[in-house]
């Protein structure tokens, strides 16, 4: 086995026991491969970036299922390919549902697109709940969420703003989204 494969397997072993530095090393080592693969498939930088991040999130969540008999990069690409297929299916389903629900009546479409007072109240309440959950995050996680989703900065812009390596920003945002999802899920169960 070449030395690089040994190093990768050691890094995976460290990541399996929760070594955060190992996760960052894996992300740094394989990001370009996964992102490049998705960029060719999607022809869209945002989709490629989002799918790549989802790929690493899923891989890190399921790291205990990784079979070391296969190349780690190949495993990541397989996950990434499946996520892309899922995205395409979801978009196709949404388009079909949209066509079925909006059979061409322009007047209905105009009326349906403006939210009612009740709809706006629900939107405002959901936004208020989301913001409350974001405030519960540690400052470093809250900051990357705000920069990415409220100021709509790219990962590179966030890295430059915070003067941190791009890999660290990707990992931080990944963790922040997971923590936020857990907080939202918990508040729904409690509320």
Q: Which tens digits make up the pLDDT trace of 94-121? A: 776 666 655 555 444 444 455 566 666 6
Could you tell me the pLDDT band of residue 21, with boundaries at 50, 70 and 90?
confident
Could you tell me the pLDDT band of residue 172, with boundaries at 50, 70 and 90?
confident
Residue 104 lies in a domain: no
Please name the residue that has the structure tokens 């040994």.
6
- Average confidence (pLDDT) over 11-25: 89
62 and 13, same structural domain? yes
Is residue 40 predicted with pLDDT exceeding 90? yes
Least confident interval from 118-132, 146-160, 170-184: 118-132
Residue 23 lies in a domain: yes
Token reading at 33 = 């491969």
Q: Between 52 and 129, name the one with better pLDDT.
A: 52
Q: Between 108 and 162, name the one with better pLDDT.
A: 162
132 and 83, same structural domain? no
User: CA-CA distance, 141 to 105, in Å (whole number)?
Assistant: 45
Q: Between 50 and 110, name the one with better pLDDT.
A: 50
122 and 84, same structural domain? no
Q: Which residues contact 34 (CB under 8 A, 6 or more apart)?
A: 52, 55, 56, 76, 77, 80
Burial of 30 (0-12, 13-18, 19+ CB in 10 A): buried
User: CA-CA distance, 174 to 55, in Å (whole number)?
Assistant: 11
Domain count, the chain: 2
122 and 90, same structural domain? no
120 and 57, same structural domain? no
| Residue 60 belongs to domain spanning | 3-94
Q: What percent of the chain has pLDDT over 70?
A: 82
User: CA-CA distance, 30 to 52, in Å (whole number)?
Assistant: 10
Residue 185 lies in a domain: yes
Residue 82, domain CATH? 1.10.1740.10
Is residue 159 predicted with pLDDT exceeding 70? yes
Burial of 73 (0-12, 13-18, 19+ CB in 10 A): middle
Residue 109 lies in a domain: no
Residue 105 lies in a domain: no
- pTM of the predicted model as reported, rounded to 2 decimal places: 0.58
User: CA-CA distance, 135 to 46, in Å (whole number)?
Assistant: 26
Residue 134, domain CATH? 1.10.10.10
- Average confidence (pLDDT) over 31-42: 92
């Amino acid at each position: 086995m070449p030395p690089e494969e040994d190093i990768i397997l050691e890094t995976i072993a460290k990541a399996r026991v929760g070594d955060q530095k190992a996760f960052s090393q894996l992300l740094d080592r394989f990001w370009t491969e996964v992102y490049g693969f998705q960029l060719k498939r999607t022809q869209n930088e945002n989709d490629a970036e989002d799918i790549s991040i989802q790929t690493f999130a899923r891989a890190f969540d399921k790291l205990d299922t990784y079979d070391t008999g296969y190349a780690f990069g190949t495993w990541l690409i397989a996950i990434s390919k499946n996520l892309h297929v899922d995205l395409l299916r979801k978009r196709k389903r949404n388009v079909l549902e949209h066509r079925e629900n909006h059979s061409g009546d322009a007047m209905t479409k105009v009326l349906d697109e403006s939210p009612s007072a009740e709809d706006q109240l629900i939107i405002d309440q959901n936004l208020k709940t989301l913001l409350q959950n974001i405030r519960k995050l540690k400052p470093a996680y809250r900051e990357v969420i705000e920069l990415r989703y409220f100021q709509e900065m790219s990962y590179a812009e966030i890295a430059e703003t915070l003067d941190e390596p791009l890999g660290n920003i990707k990992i931080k945002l990944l963790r922040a989204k997971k923590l936020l999802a857990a907080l939202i899920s918990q508040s729904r169960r409690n509320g």
